[in-house]
Amino acid sequence: MKILLISPAADTLKRTNKGLMMPQLALYILQGLTPPQHEVKIIEEEVDAVNLDEDCDLVGLSCMTANSTRAYELSTEFRRRGKTVVLGGVHPTILPDEALQYSDSVVIGEAEGVWETVLNDFSNNSLQKTYHNPEPDLGKYVPKDFKSILKKRLFKLIPIMTTRGCPYSCDFCCVSNLFGKKIRHIPIENVVRDIQESGSKNFMFLDDNIIGHPRYAKELFTALIPLKIKWVGQASVSLLVKDQELMNLAAKSGCKALFFGLESVSETQLKLMHKAIKDISTLEAALKKIKKMGILIHASMVFGFDNDTKEVFEETVNFLIKNKVSTVSFNILTPYPGTKTYEDLKRENRLLTNDWKYYDHNTVVFKPPNMTPFELQLGKIRARLKFYSISSVLRRLNGNLYGIGIYLATNYGHIKQAKVEARRIPRLKAELFKIG
């Protein structure tokens, strides 16, 4: 059997800077789960073109909300050509009935525990409409084609995942809907095997919170120390700074940068989000402590909360520059289906559109209370431009000298992307007019 696995692009008219692209892993896990008698080809549309006339028997598409529209387009075209299509990923998991309108079958949640059944059923002409294993066994080692992953990444970061599940229920996040609230672990020996078999020294841990289970994290970091690797990941600020041993082990194991979901620097908003750190002075102290360990900080900020006014953009950027934060993702609050935020805005009749291609962290799809949708859109873009201005990069430089190579390279990439986004302001204004 010939199997084609595709990760669709969100927008076929533009491409993400290769240096800023998140490493893919899901499709390579599917490839590893596929019995060796089958032939698998992987297409990441951000990098490769999709051939709708590809010689294949089965097509698998993995998508999030932002690229689900493109996934549905591809699925429709493949089915028109007589191909069988299976959809999976976050969006089909949240809205399986919608996904089934465009596919022959939907994998809900994780593929481990069901993928071989999907293939067997397809071979026997007995494919089911949905497949779901809520807590698949993560103990079995899944081989990955690391050489193919490396070819598609500018900074040669190998993606690794060590845990699944998140115990938190953030209003605007649907991670627990996909992986559940129970934190489950991949055996540390399997993580080490992935690292060794990849032949690389640079890694990105894709866990939503790599220190979510501190005891496991300490054992993992201890196992990583002899491997002498460099890695980046995502973690909780409060949990990390509360546990000095955990922080020390992270640094010793090769941690060079961490992604932190700060979301807001408004104390009112921090309390509403039930953050462990609820005041700015404590947050500043925590960031300073992390930087002292030689770990670069990538912060994720969100604009568009109901408490946000037009002053939030300047306040946020000033805070980030003052604290010499290494890099930042500036996002528009996105009410993803399946989240409380989506249900609240829908109930209040504040959603502007249900066209999923706009649900991309970068486009306003709802009516904010204290500004117009375009003012929110423009404020986010200008905040990004100001933070990634040359003067800002230089002002933050002396707080990031311990990782100057990564700091300069990533900031350069963001400067380019910020300018690209700024050039799209007229298009964004037209799109907001169309959807609003």
d(CA 383, CA 318): 10
| Cβ contact 85:59 at 8 Å | yes
pLDDT band at 8 (very low <50, low <70, confident <90, very high): very high
Q: Please, what is the average pLDDT of the chain?
A: 91
**Span 344-377, pLDDT tens digits:** 999 999 999 999 999 999 999 999 999 999 999 9
Tokens 């430089």: give the residue.
397
The pLDDT of residue 153 is above 60: no
Mean pLDDT of the 15-31 span: 75
| Mean local confidence (pLDDT), 119-138 | 95
Mean pLDDT within 121-148: 93
Please say whether the beta carbons of 127 and 120 come within 8 A. no
Query: Would you list the domain boundaries of the chain?
Result: 2-132, 146-435
Instruction: Look at residue 266 in the predicted model and tell me its pLDDT.
Output: 82
Sheet strand arrangement including 202-205 = 158-160, 202-205, 230-234, 255-263, 296-303, 327-332
Q: What is the mean predicted confidence (pLDDT) over 60-65? A: 96
Q: How many CA atoms lie within 13 A of 155 on its CB side?
A: 21
Average pLDDT for 84-111: 96
Q: How far is CA 162 from CA 159, 329, 425, in A?
A: 10, 24, 39
- In sequence order, which residues have a C-beta less than 8 Å from that of residue 350 and are 6 or more positions away? 366, 367
146-435 placed in CATH 3.80.30.20:
yes
Question: In 3D, which of 87, 112, 145 has the Cα closest to residue 33?
Answer: 112
417 vs 218: CA distance, rounded Å:
36
Q: Please give the pLDDT value at position 169.
A: 66
Tell me what the mean pLDDT of segment 174-184 comes to: 74
pLDDT of residue 274: 62
Predicted confidence at residue 17, as pLDDT, reads 57
pTM attached to this predicted model? 0.90
What pLDDT does 410 receive?
A: 92
- Give the number of C-alpha atoms closer than 13 A to the C-alpha of residue 363, restricted to the C-beta side: 28
Residue 275, pLDDT > 90, answer no
- Pick among 3.40.309.10, 3.40.630.30, 3.30.420.40, 3.40.50.280: CATH of 2-132: 3.40.50.280
Q: Which amino acid is at 138?
A: L
pLDDT exceeds 60 at position 31: yes
**Best-predicted range by mean pLDDT (15-29, 134-148, 163-177, 324-338):** 324-338
Tally the C-alpha atoms within 13 A of residue 190's C-alpha that lie toward its C-beta. Answer: 14
| Residue-wise pLDDT tens digits, 182-241 | 888 999 999 999 999 999 999 999 998 999 899 999 999 999 999 999 999 999 998 888
Provide the percentage of residues in the chain whose pLDDT is more than 70: 93
> What local confidence, expressed as pLDDT, does residue 1 receive?
95
Can you tell me the mean pLDDT for 37-63?
Answer: 95
353 or 47, higher pLDDT: 353
| pLDDT on residue 78 | 98
Structure tokens at 362: 């970068």
Tens-digit pLDDT profile for residues 281-331 = 989 999 999 999 999 999 999 999 999 999 999 999 999 999 999 999 999
For the segment 170-189, the average pLDDT, to the nearest whole number, is: 79
